[in-house]
């Protein structure tokens, strides 16, 4: 662990990313304490400039507090990003493990399915899924999961393909271990690092997809999110630039932080890759 941290902290940008991500998570954690009221409520004079009428980052057309929206939106982004990523990794690991381990027809069939899902333009597909299921936090998570798992499946399949003929797996066969046990207990732990790396980068993509959906009006109507704030403020762009600007900066910082952490993890977990560059 100390060894891992030493390798991780060698990159300044990775540490910076971790710090920024910590700030965003802290903001999400204290959102209910600092802004205990509903972020949708009318909090004061509409269209207040940042720093006036008690609004740190201004208020929007309906008098909602932009800062409160950003704090509560952080919860939404992180929650959706994490849950959708966990679900995609789960599905992707099952597909990839079965395809890579068994090979042959199973591999053909599963990879064909994966290929179809990879071909479909993912954002348009996500829009369609949310529109059909009606916008809600569940349908958004499902849509992001459906468009994100194929990448994991391909990665895990590749890892399983290269590991399944190694000596330690053959030894397990000789010992009479079952397939399921070999897959879960022997092979899977050996491909955890690339899964962790791709998973961390997927959280960032999931947050971007979620904000895009919310911007187009496909967010959960009862939950505050950064994309929704920007979508609601865009009609007032000419007179109130701050409504759109600050939530966008929040998205930028969060996604940037996660990407930096992902790259840092990649360098720390796969040190051999680093030396190639």
Residue 145 makes CB contacts below 8 A (sequence gap 6+) with: 84, 87, 88, 91
Contact 92, 153 (CB under 8 A): yes
Q: Is 259 in the site for another protein (CB under 8 A)?
A: yes
| Shortest spacing between CB 114 and another protein, in angstroms | 11
Q: And the tokens for 162?
A: 């290269």
Beta bridge partners, 84, equal none
Ranges within 82-121 binding another protein (CB under 8 A): 112, 115-116, 119-121
Which CB atom, from 102 or from 241, has the smaller least distance to another protein?
241
Q: Is 273 in the site for another protein (CB under 8 A)?
A: no
Q: Is 244 in the site for another protein (CB under 8 A)?
A: yes
DSSP strands (E only) in the chain: none
Q: Identify the residue among 33, 165, 176, 277 touching another protein (CB under 8 A).
A: 277
Contact pattern for another protein over residues 121 through 160, marking x by CB under 8 A: xxxxx-xxx-xxx---------------------------
Which is nearest to 227 in space by CA: 73, 32, 49, 78?
A: 73
Say how far residue 35 (Cα) sits from the centre of its chain.
25
Q: How far apart (Å, rounded) are the C-alpha atoms in residues 73 and 20?
A: 16
Contact 193, 270 (CB under 8 A): yes
What 3-state class would DSSP assign to 59?
strand
Which CB atom, from 56 or from 133, has the smaller least distance to another protein?
133
Which CB atom, from 55 or from 246, has the smaller least distance to another protein?
246
Q: Is 237 in the site for another protein (CB under 8 A)?
A: yes
Contact pattern for another protein over residues 176 through 215, marking x by CB under 8 A: ----------------------------x---x--xx--x
Which is nearest to 258 in space by CA: 194, 200, 172?
A: 200
Q: And the tokens for 34?
A: 């600092």
Residues that bind another protein (CB under 8 A): 112, 115-116, 119-125, 127-129, 131-133, 204, 208, 211-212, 215-218, 227, 230-231, 234, 237-238, 241, 244-245, 248, 251-252, 255-256, 259-260, 277
């Amino acid at each position: 662990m100390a060894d891992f941290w030493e390798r991780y902290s060698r990159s300044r940008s990775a540490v910076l990313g971790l710090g920024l991500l910590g700030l965003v998570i802290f903001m999400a954690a204290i959102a209910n304490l600092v802004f205990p009221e509903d972020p949708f409520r009318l909090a004061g004079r509409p269209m207040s400039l940042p720093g006036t009428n008690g609004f740190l980052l201004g208020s929007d057309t309906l008098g909602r507090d932009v800062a409160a929206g950003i704090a509560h939106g952080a919860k939404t982004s992180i929650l959706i990003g994490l849950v959708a990523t966990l679900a995609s990794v789960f599905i992707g690991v099952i597909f990839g493990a079965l395809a890579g381990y068994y090979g042959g027809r199973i591999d053909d069939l599963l990879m064909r399915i994966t290929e179809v899902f990879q071909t479909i333009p993912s954002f348009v597909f996500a829009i369609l899924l949310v529109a059909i299921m009606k916008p809600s936090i569940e349908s958004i998570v499902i849509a992001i999961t459906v468009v994100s798992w194929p990448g994991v499946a391909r990665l895990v399949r590749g890892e399983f393909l290269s590991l399944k003929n190694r000596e330690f797996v053959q030894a397990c066969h000789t010992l009479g271990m079952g397939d399921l046990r070999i897959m879960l207990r022997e092979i899977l732990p050996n491909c955890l690092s690339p899964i962790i790396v791709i998973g961390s980068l997927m959280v960032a993509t999931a947050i971007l997809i979620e904000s895009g959906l919310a911007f187009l009006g496909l967010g959960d109507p009862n939950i505050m999110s950064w994309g929704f704030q920007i979508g609601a403020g865009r009609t007032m762009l000419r007179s109130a630039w701050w409504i759109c600007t600050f939530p966008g900066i929040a998205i930028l910082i969060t996604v940037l932080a996660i990407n930096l952490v992902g790259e840092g993890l990649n360098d720390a977990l796969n040190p051999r890759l680093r030396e190639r560059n």
